Structure 1
Amino acid sequence: MFELFYDLVFVYAISRIPAMIHHPVNGSIPLITFLQFLLVVIVVMQIWFYQVIYFNRYSKNKIGDLSGLVLNMFVAVYLANNINIEWRVTFHYFNTAMVVMVATLFCQYLFTKVEENNDKKVFLIILELEFLLIVLGLLVGYPAGIYFCIAGYIIGFILPIFLWHMFKEEHVNFPHLVERVSLIVIIAFGEAIVNLATYFNNKTPLVYAALLLLSLVLMFASYAILSDKLINHHQISKGFVLMYSHIAIVVSILLSTVSLLYLQIKNVNKSFLFFLIIGSLSLYYFSLTINQIYNENTCKFAIRDFLTLITIFSLGAVYLWLVISSELGIAICLLIWNLVFFLDFLMKSKNSLK
């Protein structure tokens, strides 16, 4: 229950992230702003995942564990309030909050009592490196210090990939991990629906809101089929692909959220909008299908399944290009596109589970 309570803070944090790219500049998103957006998503998701992994592998739900959780909740709100593209202004506030959160996580991993054959030392090494680089960045100060902080965040994000062989898969509670990553996806979709609420007014035809809401519902329904019906929840796995793919899924949902908002902006560059929608949907469905490695043996994807998905995506991209100048055309395209993906996944689940 405390983990669910912890998630509420990240509802707020994730709601702050799209504001970084909420308003296009000259009809599009500047590259530097987009990279800042990606980095902040990685930072927020990284903190969330390290906390999830700790509770998944080591926590006994004792007072020390819950105290660390509550402290990070407090600091996460402070962190979220300093999410923007004006890094010069929020440099010390944002990174100080990260220092506290990383230090709290480090202490949780350090003081937990586990058996001798454990892998917590790997987490301690990664968190210690990240902590030292962020502190060094704060000591150096802006602007040079920001590069040390970024290096720390990137190390915290990618170093587990290079050290994957050092992690013990038998320590992972896989059903719990699937449940937790599903919740962060629900949070991201909740942010999309909140932003979609701007379409529900007396100036915008209701058909736009209906079509776009149904599109989001179908996207989530596809996720629900793959994560709930096809994945084997009771397996022994490190879950690396599951965790990293869900970071990509969150990024794709946030980008889809922004693209829905851009439909209402008259001066947005149509070519940019096309590639934004294409990029977000391709990332979303690729991240979904890559998780098929966790499916039941009878539910694994064959070459034919991948070719079908590529065909659906290609036809949808062509259709989108033809209607990119029409807001209604885009809304209809998204509905049909996501509907076909959903029907394909639904047929796959029915055939596989017979």
Structure 2
Amino acid sequence: MKEKRSVSMVELFYDLIFVYAISQMSEVLLVAFEDQGLYLDAIIKYCIVVLSFWSVWTYQTVYNNRFFKGSVINYIFILLNMFIVMVLSQSINFHFQETFFPFVLCTTLLYSIVLLEYCITFYSSNSALEKKFIISFIIILSIFISVSLVALIVPEEIRLIFNGVAILIISFLPIMFKERIKSVSVDFEHLTERYSLLVILFFGESIVTVTKTINLTSIHITSFFYFLIIIALFSIYSLIHTKGIEKNRQTGGLILIHMHYFVILSIGFVSILLEENIHQEINNAVFSIFLTIGITVFLAALFINWFSYSTNQITAKFMIMISVLLCLFYMNNLLIENMDIYLGMDMILLWLIFGAVYRELKE
């Protein structure tokens, strides 16, 4: 049995650069609210940017979880990755064509470093299962690097397609190797802790966006509702991931990993939406639809993680309670037009969902 790992200082240091990257990602989505004709375009680009950074962070984290030994070469690779992520963060732009080359080059370099780490580990490992596992990731990383390099040289009209395909490959192709990945299980407790720390970074950025809605000369109750909505989402997440997920599982962790993409995507989306609703006065119907989608995605991803790794069987009583609360949430978002009442009801319903989760885990 492998010795349980704790989150190291170097991993926490590595996360720091993603604080800046998170703030840069929001700039992509803000364009949608400056020109209301760009909603779909901006949302797609925001999803791709978040997916890119999530996968970069995930690949390094998954490698560290299984194979990090605290050697000099490990530290060199992490610090080098940090610098490249800094450059990558500067290439985030709604007008992606303008920064396409540095963005693709940086992601290619980042995955090349992870590929090199896996190759070194392959030759130093004496385990047949580990070697088989590593070969899977060498294949995935090699395909991504190849497609990305092609994206750099093809005509401008189709290079975004190649880059999009490359990002989808690196993000979701591991699912095809799930049996191999499961055979070399992660330190699941360490993995859940690492992802919870990443989520905290996104929630931290959400609190910053709420702060931007506060005007000292006229503090509006809407900002207070925004704050309580964010805190409710954080409380639900924290409760499920500290009390609801069994940490001692033997698993590859693929569900936890991929559901966290949707968790962090929705946190960023909801926080930006809340901020811009005050600054830009978004159409109530558009605001309601997008907020409903964002919170639904957040809760769905969180509940999938919970049900997949639950410490106990989920009761029928809880499922009925959650279904009723969600129906009330959707009815509120569809029927109530007054913004203050609408947000106040959303806030109350989210806290009721938290209460239902708390009672379920307590029982």
Q: Which runs of 4+ in 1 moved over 3 A?
A: 25-29, 168-171, 322-325
Query: Is 1:177 matched with 2:186?
Result: no
Deviations 1:40-66 (A, max 9, x none): 111110010000000001111111111
Find the aligned partners of 1:10 and 1:16 in 2 and give their Cα distance: 10
TM-score (norm 2): 0.91
Shift of 1:329: 2.2
Q: Which of 308, 322, 335 is matched with 2:347 structurally? A: 335
- Structure 1 runs not aligned, ≥5 long: none
Q: Runs of 5+ in structure 2 lacking a partner?
A: 1-8
CA–CA distance in structure 1, aligned partners of residues 38 and 344 of structure 2: 24
Is 1:125 paired with 2:139? Answer: yes
- Shift of the alpha carbon at 1:338? 1.4
| Distance in 1, Cα, partners of 2:182 & 2:224 | 47
1:111 shift after superposition: 0.6
How far does residue 179 in structure 1 lie from its aligned partner after superposition? Answer: 0.4
Does 2:234 correspond to 1:217? no
Query: Once the two structures are aligned, what percentage of the paired residues are identical?
Result: 24
Moved more, 208-217 or 45-54: 208-217
* Deviation sequence 1:130-176 (CA, Å, 0-9, x none): 01111111122533222222111111111111221221344311110
For residues 24 and 313 of structure 2, the distance between their equivalents in structure 1, rounded to whole angstroms, comes to 37
Q: CA deviation at 1:29?
A: 4.6
Partner of 1:243: 257
| Counterpart AA for 2:167 | Y
Q: How does 1:1-354 map to 2 (within 5 A)?
A: 1-23=9-31, 24-27=33-36, 29-112=38-121, 113-114=124-125, 115-118=127-130, 119-292=133-306, 293-296=308-311, 299-326=312-339, 328-351=340-363
CA contact (8 A) 1:262 1:273 kept: no
Partners of 2:213 and 2:279 within 8 A in 1: no
Three-state SS of the structure 1 residue aligned to 2:156 is coil
In structure 2, how many angstroms separate the alpha carbons of the residues matched to 1:281 and 1:203? Answer: 30
Distance change (3 Å), C-alpha of 1:206 and 1:102:
same
TM-score by length of 1: 0.94
Letter aligned with residue 321 of structure 1: L
Q: Deviations over 1:264-320 (max 9, x none)?
A: 145422221111111011111111111122111xx3223442232122111012123
Aligned mates of 1:238, 1:104 — CA distance in 2: 22
| Whole-Å separation in 2 of the counterparts to 1:219 and 1:168 | 30
In 2, Cα distance between equivalents of 1:94 and 1:342: 39
Question: 2:4: which partner in 1?
Answer: none
CA distance in 2, matches of 1:214, 1:278: 16
Identify if the C-alpha distance between structure 1 residues 69 and 248 changes in structure 2 by more than 3 Å, giving closer, same or farther: same
Report the count of equivalent residues. Answer: 348
Deviation track 1:79-122 (CA, whole Å, cap 9, x = no partner) reads 11111111111011111111111111111111123222211111
Tell me how far 1:341 sits from its aligned partner: 1.0
Three-state SS of the structure 2 residue aligned to 1:143 is helix
Structure 2 CA distance for partners of 1:200 and 1:266, relative to 1, 3 Å: closer
Deviation at 1:35, TM superposition (A): 1.0
Once the two structures are superposed, residues 226-271 of structure 1 have per-residue CA deviations (whole angstroms, 9 ceiling, x without a partner) of 1001211111111111011111100110111122113214542222
1:88, 1:143 within 8 Å by CA — same for their partners in 2? no
Is the Cα contact below 8 Å between 1:174 and 1:236 reproduced in 2? Answer: yes
CA RMSD of aligned residues (A): 1.6
Amino acid at match of 1:87: F
- Provide closer, same or farther for how the CA distance between residues 267 and 221 of structure 1 changes in structure 2, counting only shifts above 3 A: closer
Paired AA for residue 310 in structure 2: N
